[in-house]
Structure 1
Amino acid sequence: MKLDRLLVVDVEATCWEGDPPPGEASEIIEIGVCELDVATGERLGKHSVLVRPERSSVSAFCTSLTTLTAEQVSGGVTYVEACALLRKEFRSRDRVWASYGDYDRKQFERQGHYPFGPRHVNVKTLFALSRALPREVGLAEALALAGLPLEGTHHRGDDDAWNIAALFGGILRSTRE
């Protein structure tokens, strides 16, 4: 396990205002990745991988939440290709990865072809514990509590990964003060 960099990951998935239409299930349509330098807590760039859904469609509700359209994701790679890209380009099996909450980890597990190694950090829980909060809070509230701006578009994978990495980087730096 390499500990020099951490992968902060945020996924967006097909979603509906209520239950999914018959025969459809939520599946990943964007994987946002931000590499974080563990020694400095600095973000090293953000990436967006659009993923073409195979068993569901992008609803109007999903587009209003994420800004992703059916046309955009139809040009994406398959989920299997996206997982292979994470393994090759980001060495995802050899690095610790983090997400805000457990949804992202569970979504990868549900879809199979899990591209990561065994080490996952839940930044949502870690942030609440590091601040002695009485409960976990959403990403926007956590950023406000940390005095950080919400950069980019909330509910876009690359922008959310970038913001989560800012929180995590702050936590890492605070342990060295």
Structure 2
Amino acid sequence: MVAVIFDLELIKRFRKGQPSEIVEIGACKVDLEKKEIIDQIQIYVNPKRGHISKSTRKFIKMKDEDINKAVSYETAILQFVTWLGDKYYLCSWGKDDKAHFINQSAQQKMNLDWFRNYNDIQKPIGNLMSSDLTNQLGLKNALKMAGIEPTGKAHRGIDDAINTAELFIKFIDKIELKENSLSQKEIHTQFQKYKRSRFRHKDQKQQTSHTHPASKSPTEN
């Protein structure tokens, strides 16, 4: 078994309710016995509209030559699953990336059987580092507390995955990874939650656009 530490980057959003499409998948494999990174993968993903905005490219440090490497979400998942192999744990810093995988795959009616043995390593590592944490510990602060010098650039999926993996390796002997599977009920619940959020923001936007602060009611003269 290997631990696959993954990190996702999304298109930069400018309004609430705008779809959160995955634009980069960064991941690396950690050999649990050797306690070292043995492989890595970086996949750029084209949004449905087929264009990655300049602001998004700048945010995730995407170079001009990377644009031609971007593939559809379906192709990206196929490449990622092929790279995963058969025996692995999936690990991320926080549960948000798990939700993004579920939401986008459910939207596009794609199989999620490969999403198994998932572990959120943010909470257990945070608890090991400090018993006084009242809020979730960010990756940047966690690396600093652990005395790990970050490599690469922040908000770049592959670099964040590698930095998270280095943090995981530091505490590897104190973390128990669990085997599990993603149930259809969990997929449905998460996707319904996502859709309700989308519709709520959409309704708020429509109500705002239909209300003008200087307008008069029918009874005003």
Category of TM-score, reference length = shorter chain: 0.7 to 0.9
Contact 2:90 2:119 in 1 (8 A): yes
For the residues of structure 1 that align with 2:63 and 2:14, how far apart are their CA atoms? 16
Q: In the alignment, does 2:68 pair up with 1:68? A: no
Residue equivalent to 2:193: none
**Aligned with residue 123 of structure 1, among 121, 124, 137:** 121
Aligned-residue offset at 1:116: 3.1
Structure 2 runs not aligned, ≥5 long? 176-221
Change (3 A) 1:159 1:149: same
Aligned-residue offset at 1:45: 3.0
Residue equivalent to 1:79: 73
For the residues of structure 2 that align with 1:69 and 1:17, how far apart are their CA atoms? 22
**Aligned with residue 34 of structure 2, among 15, 40, 54:** 40
If each structure's strand is expressed as a fraction of its own residues, which one has the higher value?
1
Q: In the alignment, does 2:98 pair up with 1:100? A: no
Aligned-residue offset at 1:133: 4.2
**Aligned with residue 8 of structure 1, among 5, 14, 20:** 5
Structure 1 runs not aligned, ≥5 long? none
AA matched with 2:122: K
Q: Deviations over 1:97-135 (max 9, x none)?
A: 101111110000001133633211112112112222413
Cα root mean square deviation, aligned = 2.3
* TM-score normalized by the length of structure 2: 0.68
Q: Aligned residue pairs: how many? A: 168
Q: Deviations over 1:130-161 (max 9, x none)?
A: 22241321111000000001100111111110
Structure of higher CA gyration radius: 2
Aligned-residue offset at 1:55: 4.3
1:10 aligned counterpart, secondary structure: strand
Identity of aligned residues (%): 24
1:125 aligned counterpart, secondary structure: helix
Q: In the alignment, does 2:136 pair up with 1:136? A: yes
For the residues of structure 1 that align with 2:60 and 2:137, how far apart are their CA atoms? 20
AA matched with 2:39: G
For the residues of structure 1 that align with 2:65 and 2:37, how far apart are their CA atoms? 30
Q: Deviations over 1:3-22 (max 9, x none)?
A: x21111101111224436xx
Q: Deviations over 1:4-58 (max 9, x none)?
A: 21111101111224436xxx51111110011001113211132211111114753
For the residues of structure 1 that align with 2:136 and 2:34, how far apart are their CA atoms? 26
Residue equivalent to 2:188: none
For the residues of structure 1 that align with 2:113 and 2:156, how far apart are their CA atoms? 20
Change (3 A) 1:8 1:49: same
Q: Pairwise mapping of residues 11-26 of structure 1 onto structure 2 (< 5 A)?
A: 11-19=8-16, 24-26=18-20
